[in-house]
Amino acid sequence: DVVMTQSPLSLPVTLGQPASISCRSSQSLVHSDGNTYLNWFQQRPGQSPRRLIYKVSNRDSGVPDRFSGSGSGTDFTLKISRVEAEDVGVYYCMQGAHWPRTFGQGTKVEIK
C-alpha cells in the first residue's frame, strides 16, 4: 500500500499568519493517465470531511483562495496564506493513484 506521511501532526498557528502542511507518499502519485491524484480534505470538529483541493492544486468551488495546493511526484504541500478561526480542524491528504486509496494521518490545526 502507498503510505502517506503528513507533517507536522499538530500545527498551532496565530490568527492571520500562514500555515503549511506537508504530505509525502511512498510512491509517485502520477497515474498512467498523466494525472496526479493527490487530494486535500478538511474536517472541522464534529463535521464530515470536506474536499478542499483535488489533483494537487485545483481548489474546489466555495473554497477560499487562501487555501492552495502544490507539489509533484511524491512531495505535496497545502498552504493557508492567512489562518482564520474557521480553519481549525484536521487536514488530510489522500492519494487516488493506487489501490487501495490511502490517507495521511491527519494534521490538527489549532489557534495559538
Partner 1 sequence: EVQLVESGGGLVQPGGSLRLSCAASGLIFSSYTMNWVRQAPGKGLEWISSISSSGSDTFYADSVKGRFTISRDNAKDSLYLQMNSLKAEDTAVYYCARGPSALIDFWGQGTLVTVSS
Does 59 engage in binding with partner 1 (CB under 8 A)?
Answer: no
Residue closer to partner 1, measured from CB, 16 or 62: 62
Q: What are phi and psi of 85, to 5 degrees?
A: -60, -35
- Count of chain residues binding partner 1 (CB under 8 A): 23
When asked if residue 105 is in the footprint of partner 1 (CB under 8 A), the reply is: yes
The answer to whether the CB of 104 falls within 8 A of the CB of 92 is yes
Q: Which stretch binds partner 1 (CB under 8 A): 10-18, 49-57, 63-71, 74-82?
A: 49-57
Minimum Å distance from CB 16 to partner 1? 28
Could you say whether residue 71 binds partner 1 (CB under 8 A)? no
The 84-103 site mask, x for binding partner 1 (CB under 8 A), equals: --------x-x-xx-xxxxx
- Which grid coordinates belong to 75? 512531495
Question: Which residues on neighbouring strands pair with residue 95, listed in sequence order?
Answer: 38, 102
Residue 18, preceding bond cis, omega within 30 degrees?
no
Q: What are phi and psi of 87, to 5 degrees?
A: -85, -5
Query: In the complex with partner 1, which residue's Cβ is closer, 24 or 81?
Result: 24
In the bound complex, what is the minimum distance in angstroms from residue 99's beta carbon to partner 1? 7
CA distance 81 to 100: 32
